[in-house]
Chains A and B, each alone.
Chain A
Amino acid sequence: GAGVSQSPSNKVTEKGKDVELRCDPISGHTALYWYRQSLGQGLEFLIYFQGNSAPDKSGLPSDRFSAERTGGSVSTLTIQRTQQEDSAVYLCASSLLLTGGQETQYFGPGTRLLVL
């Protein structure tokens, strides 16, 4: 079946511009996660959705970052006024969140963001 998909696969933008990154989770997966992978910081959690609500936004690095999920499916991560330190690979994952953290998360291929 179809896995997690993300778009675009690559995005180059200028400092100060806004960007939107999209994630399509596996059909039926209720939990959706955003992570960031960068050379300096490794793999970091950003935010998680259960259905359309986000019980944990603790990893968002600043108020320039926001995310939403609609219809319990697609999610969009928005970065406003991008900075060079936002350059990273943004990963989305989804899972069936049934028993508190034991389920496997399935990752998408990521969006590679470069801020010039």
Chain B
Amino acid sequence: GNSVTQMEGPVTLSEEAFLTINCTYTATGYPSLFWYVQYPGEGLQLLLKATKADDKGSNKGFEATYRKETTSFHLEKGSVQVSDSAVYFCALSASQGGKLIFGQGTELSVKP
């Protein structure tokens, strides 16, 4: 079946450090891929997405590239800020109905 695996947290970084959160997937067909973020005390919100191979999603300085050959969608940011502290979820949608299958989430803590 379809599944998403992302690196376990928590991840602790200093401000301005480089961030990578790994995400790999298993899916039949051609899924759409998403990163959602959950800030403390807030609901899930879309960070970025990519709907076909080699697409790059980007938002708020975060980027992720849909790599079909490695079935990956790693999240990167060149310089993290304290305000980026949150839980990040990688997800895929592979069905006509669009249901999301999520990874287990990675908690990021950025220290000043």
Number of A-B residue pairs having CB atoms within 8 Å of each other in the complex:
69
Cβ–Cβ < 8 Å partners of B96 in chain A: 100-101
Q: Which of A15-23, A48-56, A78-86 contacts B (4 or more CB under 8 A)?
A: A48-56
Cβ–Cβ < 8 Å partners of A97 in chain B: 97-98
Verify A100–B44 contact, CB threshold 8 A.
no
Q: How many residues of B contact A (CB 8 A)?
A: 26
Main secondary structure of the interface of A (DSSP, over half): strand
Interface residues of A in 76-116 (CB under 8 A from B): 91, 93, 95, 97, 100-110
Given contacts A43-B105, A101-B32, A104-B49, contact A56 B95 (CB under 8 A): yes
Verify B93–A48 contact, CB threshold 8 A.
no
- 14 A-B pairs with CB atoms under 8 Å apart are A31-B98, A42-B102, A48-B99, A56-B99, A97-B98, A101-B93, A101-B95, A101-B97, A104-B49, A106-B45, A107-B36, A107-B45, A109-B43, A110-B43
Question: 14 extra interchain contacts, Cβ-Cβ under 8 A, other than A48-B98, A101-B95?
Answer: A42-B103, A43-B100, A45-B101, A48-B99, A50-B97, A56-B97, A91-B43, A101-B31, A101-B93, A103-B98, A106-B46, A107-B44, A108-B43, A109-B42
